[in-house]
Structure formats: C-alpha cells, structure tokens
Structure 1
Amino acid sequence: MDYQAIADKIELVLASLSNVSDEELRDLAETYARACQEVNQRLQDIHHLIKAGERSEAIRRADIAPRLLDAVDALDLPDRDAWVDICTLKRLPQPPELLTQYVAELNEAYESEQGLAGLLRQHRLLALARAPLAKRAAVLRQLAEAEPENPIWVEDLQTLEKFWLDQISQEIQECVKAEDLSALEDIHKELESGQWRCAPPASVISQCRSAVEMLRNKAFRREMEHLATLIREAMERRDVSRVEELLRVWQERAATAPQWVDWDLQNKVQPAMLLAKQLEAERQAERRRRQLFNQFQQMLVNPPSRTELEKQYLALQEAGVTLPPDVEERYAAVIDMYRRRAALRRNILLVVMTVVFIAAGVIVWKVQAQIQTNQIAANAVAVVEAYIESKQFEEAENYLADLEEKHPQLLERPELIAIKTRLQEAHQEENSRQKKLADLLSMVERSLESVPNAPALDQATSLARTPEEKERVAALRTQAEKRWAALRAEAEEEFRKRINQLEEDLNQIVHSNNLSVEEELHQLSQLVERVNRLESENRDKGLSFDRELNQLRDRASARLMEVAKTSKRERSVRELCSAAAQGTQAYLAAVRKIAAGADSVGLTDLTMVEAELPRLDALPAWNNAAALWNDSRTVLSAQARTTLLEQINSLQVEPVDAFPLKMEERQRLEAYLTIISQRDQLALTIVPALNEEWKQPLISDAWFVQLKNGRRYYSREQPGRLIKVVRSLKSDKDEELPIVQSMVEYQGRAPHTVLYNRVEKALADWSAKSWEASADTVLSEIIRFSRKEPPELPELPLLFHLFWETLTVAKSGDVGWQVFWNAWQDTLQKLRDQYPANYDWPRVAQDNSSRNFDDLRAFFNKLPPPEEVLKQVASTRQEYRGIPWPRLEWVGIVIEDDQRVWYVRGVRGEIVQDGAPLFILEAPPGGKGLFLQRIGMWQGQRGVVQKAGSLRLYNGRPVVAFVPPAHN
C-alpha cells in the first residue's frame, strides 16, 4: 500500500472537495482508515518487541518496506482535523488516531542500535570466521554491557561460556602437551577474570592453574640449568668477570621464583658463588682501605676535632695501611697545634668563670622574687586549665577564691583574668551541652517504639563526653540498630511476600485455562502496573529486590506480547474455556455465540455440544455425596446412607480399572454403607431382644453366696437367714436353704449383676446413632470383668453367653466388630457349641466337683486387653470410613488442533494431576446415573486423547476427571 499516494489524494480532495464524488470519498476514507490501522498495528508490535528486549528484531520489522517511520510521516496529515470533520459530516469511516507516542521509542531504538553497530559487525565476523571462543566471549560481554536491557546477549554469552567450559579442559591438555605457556596463561587469565556469567568450576580453574605452574616450572628450570652450564664453562676458562655477570643473572632469576630453586640447581653454581663471595670480600677490603686513607688526607687539610683525627689514625693502623712519610709529618704537626690551643682555652676559661661568679651573686637576689610570683601565677593557670579540661568547674572556682585570699595581687595579672573568663564560658557551655544532650536522648528513647530518630542519635553521639553519657548513647544506639534491623527485616519480609504473591498471580494467569484473551491481557496489564509500583517502592525504601522485580516484569511482558498475538481460533477456544469455568449456562451461551461464526474459526461441529450439556447436571449430586462421605464429622443418617448407596451404585466407568478406587476399596465402601444402613431395622429387632436377655432377674438383679467348700448359690432375692436358691435354669421353683455363717466365705451381689449395672445405660441407649459407642462399652466391660478373680469374677459360661449375644448384635451393624468376629469366629463357634444358650450354669456352680472351665478361661485370657480391642475395632472402622470418595469435576473440553489431532484443553487443569484419566459423559443405560467413557489422560498443561473404538469426538465436548477429595 502506497501511504504517500493516499496522503496526496487526501490533500487534493481537501483542496477541491466539490470535484470529488461521495463514492470516491468513501473509498478514500476506507483506504486511509485501513492504512492507519495497519500502521498502528505495526507500531504496537514494535512497542511490544522493544519492551521485551528484542530491539534488533523491532528495527528489522520497522525497516520492512514500506519503512514504518516513512509510513507514519506520510499518514500524519497536516490537515488531519479537516479530514476527520469531513468524515464525520458525511458519515465516512473514521481513521483511528496514529500511535505517535511509540515513534520516539522507535527513534531511541535506532540510536541505540547505531551505537552497537561496530560491536555487532565484529560479533558477526568472529562467528563467521569461527574465531577463538575467548575473542567471541569478549565481544559478547561488551554487547551485554552496552545493552543490559536485552537478555539475548546474556543468553548467548551463557551458551557460549557453557560450550567453552565443555572444551576448555581439552584445550588445557593440548597446551600442556605442546608446552604452549603463552596460550595457557591466556586461558588462566580468562578463567580468573571474574567476568563469567556461568562461573567456571573450581576444578577447571585449579587444573589450569596447576598446568600454568607446571609449564612455568619447566621453562624456569631449563633456563636456570642453561645458566648453570654457562657459569661452569666460564669457570673452566677462568673468565672471572663472565662468571660474575652470569651469576648475577642467575641470582636475579632465582629471586623471581625461589620455590623452584632446589638443592640440585644450587649445587651446580655453588663453586661459582663461593668464588664470587671471595672476590667481593677482597674488593670490599681494598675499597675500605682507600676510603680510610682519602678521608684521613681530607682531615689533615681541614682538621676536625683532635679526637676524630686520632680515631681515624687508629682505624688506618688497624686496617694495615702504611702512611707515606710526608703524611706522617703533617699528622704530627696538626696534633701539636691542637695541644697549644687547648692550653690557651684553659687560661681564658678560668678568667671568665671568675667574672661570671661575681655577677651571678649580684643578679640572683633581684630576680628570685619575680620568678616566684611568675611560678605561682603559672601554676594557678595550669591548675584551673586542668579543672576546665576535666569539667570540674566548682573545684576551679573554689581554687581561684582561695588564691584571691592568699595572693590578691595575682588576680590583676592578664593570664589570671583570661582564665577566669574562660572558666565562666566553659561552665555555661557545659550546662548548655548537658541540657541539649538530655533533650536529644529523650527524643531518641521516645522514637524507639516506632522508628528510631537517627539525626537525634547522631547529634547525641557527638555531644556525649563523659563515660556515663557515652555508655548511655551506646546503649540507645544498640537498641536503635536492633529496631532498624527489625524494621528492615519486616519491610523485606513483607516486600518478599508481595513479590511472591505477584509471582503466584502470574503463574496462575499463565497456567489458567479458563481466561479469555481479553481477560488475560487485562490481568497481565494490571500485574505489570503492580510490578512497576512495587519497583518504585523498592527504590524509595532502599531495598535490594531489583533482580526479582526485573525478572518478574520481563516474564509478564513476554506473556503479554505472546497473548496479544493470539489467533482468532485460539481466542474462540479460550473464550469457551473461560465460559466453561463459569458453569453450563455461561458455556451454552458462549457455544451459541461462537457457533454463529464457526466457519471462520473452524469450529463447525460446536453445536453438537448442546445435546450433551444436561449430562453434566449429574455431577453435583455425586460431589455432594463425596463431600458428605469425606467429612469425618458427618453423622451418617438413614437418608445420608441411602443417598451414598444410590450414588456409588449409579456410577459406571468404562474401562472399570479407570475408576480411582480399587475394586476392593469400592466393595469395602459398599459393605460399610450396607451394614450401617441396617442399623435402624436392627435397633427395632435384635437390640430389644438383647436388652431382654440382660434384664433377666437372675442376671440384672441377682445375689449369691459362696461357701468355703467352693459351692456357689444364686438367688433372685437378697438372702438373710435363708436363701432362695435357683437350683437350675430348667426349674421354675426356687429352693429355700438356711445360711450357716460359719460356712460362708462371701455373700453379696452377683458379679454379673455388678457387670449389668456398669452397662445398663449403654444397653438402654443402644440405637442406630449410638451403635458403636454402646457396643464398645458393653463388650469392653465384659472383657474387663473376665480378668477379675473370684468372687468378683462372673460365672464363665454366663459371661461367655453374654459376650456371644452382645457380639452377635454388635457385628450386625458395625464393620469394626464384624472384623473382630471374623478373626475369632472359629474359636467362638467351638465354645458356643460346647456352651449353648441353655447351658445350666447355676446347677454347675452348686456342684463342688464341677469343672474349672479352662477352655473359657484360656479364651478370655487370649483376648487382648479391652483398651487394645477397642483400638483395633476403631482402626478397622477408620480403614473403612477413611476410604477417599473422589470428586468428579469438569476439567476441560475436546479440541482439534491445526494438524487434526484431538486433545483436551483445560478448563480447570490446575486441579488435575499428571496421569489422571480423562472421561467423556456418554448416555447412561436407562437414562439415569453417570456413564463415564475414558478417552485419554492428563499430561502437563493439557490432556492427551487416546481415542479407541467407535468413540465420537467433536469440538467443545466436555471432559471430566476424578480429583482427590478436599481434606477437612
């Protein structure tokens, strides 16, 4: 499209509007509006690329013909307002406003790109020439430093560094093999440079360092051995000067690397070193003699003191220097001159001392008084200054008052007047300092509750003088620093939480499958604004979260640009997912809306969804049942049990093994519900019968007497002198017997009656709701009484009978006791066969020769303690009750992609685990319940369709999945 030609036509039209027909105007308006839209779209794309750090790509696209800046310049009409007015009056297409605010951004990108042109050219040339990796890495580092906002350079540099690190060990070995020390040192310098984005492994650096040291050692040793050979050859030729020159070079080189100079190398040059030391000692001795002789001659020309001259003469004698005769004569003449001068000085000194002694006696008495006065004044000034320095102002004032009484004339001296003035000023200054310090410290203490006052604390630190003041300031500073650290830690923790929340929000947006394009763009824009606000706050508070915020903004911007490029078909699919997350009604509306234009997006079979949507109405009932079962606090009423059974029986899954619950778990769940659903009926039938069994007078209200001979008699009435004995269960008449107290060992309530009193309330309250509690109480008490000793132990046949009858009722309505029954069923049945319900236990108790019931005693002793039995029963109930009932959720829709491959687009994919089976809803047999047909499994962010058989798929078809129950 020729934008300049369009602009020129508009200018001509504006100049001669009357000569243009309405049809031509409309065509021109449509063309211009379309051109503005195209240019705006290009500007937006360029803007997103620049924001994403892809500046080079943005410039490349801007330079595609027609160049974007030329197009903007052409379409930005000088009389644009006049053209817009004409379009408005004639109802022509309105041109959109040009996004000229992005032009400045593009110009800046051009300027930055031109500044990088040299580096980019060098980078391309090095890449084409397959230059060494070190040179290419150096150029990439310059590019990354010159363009820090572009992440591509950092990524390329990291890739190059990783590739180089993979090869660098081989390069080091090749350099060692070739003994190329220069190349190896270059590699070591590069590794130690600290400019790596991917830090080199310490092992590689250590390997390179060791290799460099090894080659340096080899080169150094070869050089030193060569020097040693040259030194040895020079000594053989007796070329002393050459030996000394080579030895000096050897020592200089040895000093550069003493760690590599071993005894072997030193021994090779040891003779030469000894020779050099001997020659050097001889030269030094000769130089010393010449130096002493020259100094002595200079002293004779300009004689110093006699002592120094004689000392120099002795030094010459010790060094073995023989003086010429003329020098000896000059020395003797100088010494004689010194003797004459000394005699003259002694005479003059005696005269002067006499005169001085006489004058001193005259002067001393005149100045002594003045000296004493000056000393007193000086001492007074020093004492007062010391008091002022130590802040002892009262002591200084007392000292001056005492001095005024003793020496009033001294206070008129200038130094004492000045010190008094200084004392007054220092005292006032100290009072002012103490008051200001106290105010500052009080201000700091008040601020510790909120934000410590740093300026006040700094001023107080500078004002503190005494140890006590400094200690108090230090204590306050410690508290303030702790408070500052706590405040900063709180701010950083709060800031980090906000960053983490932004990251969670971004991840939720990115991984959400139920947002339309417009909704996601809106949420991403809001999130970028939140990141910008947080970044500004980070700078204001002086925190250090720049890297985290930059990464977060880059991720959000990249996602924003990616979503902005979404195709029309993808927008429709996302709109469907967004509507599906809101429910069937919203989804139905979206289906009808998109189906109206399905030809343009390739979703022509979308209308088939409407017939299937009513099947989703069965999901809430299933999930309500799951919530009811999975809530451990739920009391399963009769209605609840019925509902649960109906739901578990109404579900059909194909294939069967795709159902989350194993067959065994499902059977146990059904068994549990079936058993507890019988409680209401059992509470009306067998529970009353059990109560009647326990309420028999011989059980619930019995007395007994035990004789010393072991016989035991039971009665329905309290015995006195006589006892009405129940001789047999088969007899209706009681026999009255006299009681001889001397024969009685025990007399009182029957033990089984005591047991009945313990369980009476539990038996009376036994109902469907309290089934488990009542059964646990009665059976545990029976087991507890079985461990008692006579006379508190009930008759074992009767105790077993009560245990059998109670357990039979308990297991009929409780899985816990049913499992317990199954574990002991064989033993219980054998004992029941031997001790049936009509076993005549009163008759046996009266027979002194009766059996001890070892089999019953062994059975009860074999049972675990009652507490352990209750734990086992409770654990069994929990195993059944704890079977998880999975929820059934609408998690996606079936979509066919561009390659005609079916997949499942997530609606609520975040709740689905990887590998979870996916199902479609087929028409259930009979029209009721749920019939699920597996079509694939969930992987990552979408579902994989594994179509089988005659299964029919179409776009938009709902997909459901089982999800774990929510824990309460």
Structure 2
Amino acid sequence: MPDHHEIVDQIRALLQAVDQTRTPALDALAAAYAQACGDVSRRLARCHRLLQQGLRSEAIQLADIAPRVLDAIADLDFPERADWDELVQMYGLPDAPRFPIEITSFLNEAYAQEDPIQDLLRTHRRLALARAPLRARIGVIRKLTAQDANNPIWQDDLRIFEKARFREIQVEAAEAARRHDAGSVGRLLAELEDQTWSEPPPVVLVQAIRKSDAHFRGQQNRAILADIEVSLNDAFSAHDPIRGRLARDRWRATIAAVKLSPKDAVHERVEPALRWLEDQDRRDEFNRDREDSIRDLVDLLDDPKSVAPAVLDRTANEILKHSDGMPASIQDRFVSRLTLERARQTRRRQWAAAAAAVAAVVVVSAVGAGIRSQSRARDSARAATALSDMLELGEHGQAVEFLERLTKADPSLFEYPGLANARALVQGAQEKEAQRQIQFDQAIRQVEQAPVTEADPTALETARGLARLSTEKTLLDQLLQRRGAAHREDRDRRERELAPRLSALSANIEVIRLKLEKAKSDGQEASASLKELVQTQAELRGLGTEIDHVGDEQQKAFRVLSLKLDAMRAEQEGRKQRRRLEEQMTSAVAYSADDEPRDLDAYTELIQKYIKNYPDSPRSRAMAKVEPERAIWQTITKENRLLASWQVPESTATSEQLSARAAACKTFLAENPNDPSALRLTEYQAHLEAMARRDLRVDNPRNRLKQLFSDILIDSVWVVKVKNPPSRPKSYFLTKQPSEDSNLLRYISGFDGRERAKPIVKANIIYSSVSPQTKIGVRYKAIFSRAAMIPDWDKVMFDLLTEIRKDAEMDPILKLTLLKKVTEYAMQGSVPLQAALAPLKAVMEQSDVDLNVPWMDPESVDAGRLRLTAERVVESMPDSLEMLREARVQEHRIEQIITLTYRSVGWLAQEDSTWGLRSGSVLPNEGELWVAVPEGSPRTAWKKLGKINSGKVSVAPESLDVRAEGRPVFVTVNAVPKV
C-alpha cells in the first residue's frame, strides 16, 4: 500500500489536473486515503482511551509506532482537504473520517508531561529488558512514583514489585542460611529495616531473618573460638609461649563474651595447651623470683653499711634454690663481702668475750674484795648487755656458756632484774634453737625419703629455710647432690627403657598410615587398619605416667606421636563422615521410580555443607567451582514445578487458562533468566499466547474471520455468468437472487457495494447460483461461531485454505485475497501454522497482483488483465500436504516442550582420573544424560553428557568440557501429559 506522502501527493496532483473524471485509479486513491485516515483515527482513539485510563506511557508508545500518529495526521490533513471531500462526495466514493483535534491536544499534553521522566523511563525499560534484579528496578519505580504521582500504575507496580522482592528476600535469606553467609543475612535484614516500603514487610519474614542474623553472630563467635583454638595448639606445638599467651588472652575474653558452657567439648581440646602455658607461667615466675633474689643480693652488696653474715647467707640461699645458681660475677662479690662481714662479726665476738671476761673478773674481784653493792649492780648490767649482744649476733652457744659461768661464779648477780631478764631470754632462745634443729632434722629426713623422680620435694624448701649452721648447710648441699645424681640416673634408665617402645610405636603408626592410604575407605582392610590404629593409640596413652619422668626430647616425641595418631583418627572419621555426606548427596539427586522430578534444594544444601566441612579436599575445591551454579539447579526445580502444576491439557483449556499459563511462563522467564530451557519455554509461551489469542480479545482472529466472510462481497452474494464471445464468460455478482422476469441485471461494481444496471439477454446466461465465496462463508461462519473451536484450529484453517484454493469457480483475484487474509489470521492463532504457512505467505507477498482492483466489476480492464496472473500465483503455491506435515511436525515439537522433563539422576564424580556418575539404585532403562552449563551470565544451556543404554551409564568422551565434580546430571524423560 502507498505511504501517506504518496497518497496525498497523488490527491494534490489530481485536484490540480484539468480532467477530474471518475476512473478506477480515482476509486482506488479514495479507498486508500479513507483507509489511511481510518487507521490513524482508530489508533488515535485507542491512544485517547489509554490516556483516559491513566496509561500515558502506553498511549505514547502506541502513538510512536511507525508511522507516528501526529506525523500521520500532519501528512493526511493537507490544505486542499475540503476540495477532495467535495470531489469524493460528488462521485459517491468512500468518505475519509475527520481527525478530532481535541484528542491530538491531549496527546501533545501527554508528550509534554512524559519528557521530564524520559530518563527514568529509559532506565526502567533498560532494566526490564536486561532482567535486572528487582532491588534495582524497585529503586527506579520509587522515583517514577514520586515524579509521576498522577499515574496510578507506578504505585500499583511498586506494590507488585515489592511483594515479589519480599519473596526474593525470603529465598535469598534461606540460601544465605544454607551457605552460612552471615554477611548476606545481615544485608537482607538491613534492606528490610532501612528501606521505605509502600507496604510494611511481612512481620514473619522480618522476625525470621532477625533470628537467622542472631544465630549466625553466635556461629561467628564459635568460628572465632575455633581460630583461637588453632592458634593455641600451634603455639603449643611450636613451644612458643608468647604466641600462646596472646592466644590465651583472646580465648578468655571470647569465652567470657560467648558465655560458653564449662562442659563444652572445646575446653577439653585446648586443655593441654593451657596446662602447658600454666607450667610456663610457673617457670617464668620462678625465674622472676631468682632475678628478684639476685637484685636483693646486689642491693645488699652495694649497701655501704654493715650487713649481718646471716642476712647475706639467707639472700644467697634464695638464689641457690634455683637450678641456674648464682652468676659468677655476683658470686665473687658475695664471697668477698661475706668474708668482710664475718671478720667484723669476729671482732664483735672478741669484744663481747673480752667484756665477759672483764665481767667475770669483776665478779670474782667483787666477791673476793667485797665491793659495794652499787658496783655489783653495774656488773650485773654489763653482764646482761653482753648476753643480749651474743643473742643478737646469733651466738647462742657462747651466751649459754657465759650464763653457766656466771651462775657458778656468783648466783646472787641474778637477783638484779637486768641479768635475770637476760637469762630468761637466753633460755627462750635456747628452746627455739632446739626446736629449729628438730624441725630441720625432720625436713632432711622427708627430703631423703621423697622419690627421686620428684625434682623439688615440698620439704626441701622447709629445710632450706631452717638451715642456719654451716654444718646444716653442708649437709643439705650434700643431700641435694645425691638426689640430683639419683634423679639423673633414674631418668636415664627410664629413657633407655622407653626409647625402643617409642620407636616401635612410631614404626607401627607409619605402617598403619600406609595401609589406610591404600585401602578403600569402606573396605575390610580399612576397618582392620582402623582397629590397629585404636589399639596403638591406647598403647601410647599407657605410656603417659612414664613420659612425665623422662627428658624433653622423648616428651616431644611422645607428643608428636599422639598428635599424629589423633590426626589419623580424625582423618578416618572425616572420611566416614564425608562418605556418608556423599551418599546423602546421591540420594538427594537420585532418579526416582515415581513420575515426580526431584527438588534440588536439598542437594544444594548438602553440597554447601560438603564445601564447608572439607574445604581443603580436592573434591571440595572442585565443587566450590560449580556451587555458584546452584541458582541454575533451583531454576530447573522451579520449572519442573511450573510444568507439573498445569493439570489441564491445552486441548481442553480455556482461553483464560491459556493466557494465565502464558503469563506464568513470561513471569518465570523474567525472574529466572538463567533457565537452560529458556528458548523452548519462550517458544511455548508464544504457542500459548497464540492459542489464547484465538478467542480472548474482541479483535481475535476468529472474529476477524467471521467479519471477513460477512463482507458484502462474500455474504449472501449470487453470481450470474453470461456469455461474452469471443472472450471468457463474464461473472456478475448480485446482492440477491436475480429475477426471472427481468432482463435488467443489477450487479455489484465496487468494494463499497454500489450497483450498476445492465440489460442482459437471458439466453446468454450460462450459470446462476449462490457465489462460491458465499458457500464457503456460510459453512465456515458456522464453524467460527461455535463456543469452542480452539483445539482444531490448525485443521479448520488448513481445510479452509484448501477449499478456497481448490474452488475452480471463485474469482482468482478474490481467491488470492481470501488466501492472503485467511493465512494471516490463521498464523495469528497458531505457532505451528506460523512455520508451516511461511512459504505460502512468502509466495503471496512476492506476487505483483494488485488486490485493490475491482475484481467484482466484469467491465474492469485491470481486473481482467490480472486474473491470469492471480491464477498462476495460486498454482505456484506450495503443496498443501507438505505444509500440513510441517504443521504437525511443529505441533509435535511444541508438545514435547511440556512433556519432555529433565529429571535428576545423580552427580558427576572423579575417582583416580576416571569420571563416573554417582547415582542411586534405580535408573531408567534408556535415556540421554544432560548437564546444565552456564554460557555467560545469565545464559545457560543444556549440554549432552552421555546416555543410559539397557540400564548402563556411559559418559561420552567428547563431553570433557562439561564435566565438573558435584555438577548434577539429568536424564530426559518423555512424560505422559496429565488429564
């Protein structure tokens, strides 16, 4: 059809021409102009209805479809329009409708309102086409709601999107919980609590995510404890007390924060390291005491004042308690100072002795010579002072001896209070000294009786504190030397006895390790080796009491063997748990004998658990690479659920059910762009939409076919054929049966149904009957008026096309016109027909037959010239049987979309460089194996892996690029549609 510019240019040229007589070209031009104006007016009216409904964006989108409405109005509403309307009315040609100017003003106003939000609309469309996450799209819709407040659609869309986002958050939170992803749970909780929602989020959802967030914070504390546990044990193994104490401080602080139960097993795992640190603390404290004692001795040595030798001895003994003894530099100074102080003490003793002698002489002289009593009092005082000095200097023996001489020489001196008190002090000191000696003897005996394995008996410290006399100190030193020698001899003996036992255990452990590495994890050899491992571990624990009495080297060897056995035992237990977990994974994706596909959510959770529990294993690292594909597996599960939910077959479904099903496909594809079956599901969506289109709308293909066969040139039309020598007979189309009494024939001469009268000789009439198009129309209008004709649409359309094509009586131009329109409507209602009738449509589109010529006018020269061409076009059309077979092939292929399901059958695993399928005990007898492989976000495709033949699985060699451990494998099964 000519475009608007061409039509208007032809009209202007005609109006400017001198000859404006009516011709077929004028009729065609009027019809074309009327149709163009009608099309634009109808589209403008639809835009107006959309604007009245508040759908401004949709109205502008409809108006912008080429040709744009406003541009078309500007082209068609040309200045000479009034002259053209007058010419059309004069000849009775179709009138072109006038354009309502008020609607165009509304449309212009809509454009003005739409411009400020164009950027947001473009962003909204781009995100929709890219199937962007709902979170991003919601943000744009919120801005559109704020800027375009008069449009209620945005608020409705926002509520729909937010509800969908709540469902997404629920799914994402569940996935994050399965992955133990505390960060994702926290972000989702923040999104729910921080965003401004049009409607509050579901309370249950918020509470559930809050609970998960609190749970994961507790797990994080557990993970921190696990890290600290590793640090503690590493420091213990490396004998690094500095790192150990730092880890211990963190441990205590975390334990206090977590409020962990004292019975928790984690305490037992770190107890050896904590005991070792306590031993280190005691040793360090002991060393600090030694340093403090050395510092005290240095302070005494640096003091210029006189220091009692006993004080020097006690300070030195505090240093000698420690195994390292006294430093050589300090020892020299100590000996020098001790010698000096003893010399001073000797001089004081000499002075005291002299004083005592003087006192004795004085006493004797006084007795013999009868000195006055005052002199005796002074002598008594001097004697008491001498006794006090002796006691102060620790010379208890000299004080006792001096007291005995005084008693024998002059007992009466003790009548004086001073000397009597001094005697009481000497007697008290004498009793204390006796008690000290008894205690020292007891402590020495206890030290001698203590086992030689006890390095520092408790009584040893008591004996050191009681030793005062040089003989006592010598006795104590000799005892310590004997005990040291005995301790070393006992330790050497124990080490000689223990060394071969440790070596034998070490060798046995190595043998067991090699056996466990070679044995299958679930075989009898592994079970027997595991029993040997338990026995060896019990034997090693039996050495625990002896290990405490050997040297550091053998103690270290004992700890290494213990750790090695614990590691081997833990590894075997881990293998058992890993095998059990792999069996659970297999069960989660195994093929089931019933018709229901597996839900892969359980498998997704198990594979995440496997990766978390065994992060360092090769299989776990391989699974970590495919674990991000879990969204694909979940999409496959959702698709299986969607297809299984359609209980009513297409053949009996209503248009509303088909439309809802197509909308569900569209929503599913929008929410799951990673579906590997997206292409076939998109095709199935188009198939459903086409089927629903047959009945759902007012302008559906069925109604348009009814309108087509209700046309004035088809409905209730008679045909009269009249001889026309020497040419072929002429056909006259009448609106009613011709009268037998009249020789005047009123026949249709134009598309608008106008009639002409022509006298006819009855003898020349060779045929008079209902027209062939009327016969076909009557039969098929009845079919199109049935309540339900959706299931047999393809058959009805093929039958109709075949009847039209094979009708020899129908005018060729009309036949071509009907074939073209019926083909168009038939393809609108069927995807199989779109493919099958494409060659037929191509033939008609490539023909040069002008279907606008008045074929109903037997006097039309153009129609007469084009009939032979139209006949040739019809004859060149593809074979109907071939097109029918193609339609059935396409229909069968589309049916397989709903009946063909991908059911999980196992997962890929690699054992010693050999790939295999971990499957359950039940397998289909025949089938093809597939895996879903990502091909760049968000595209995913099905890739063939192998097949099942007679119940045996074979992996194709060429499938190397799609193999990945942990990737689920599916088998295609043709299901029987549910009725």
Is the TM value for this pair above 0.5?
A: no
TM-score by length of 2: 0.31
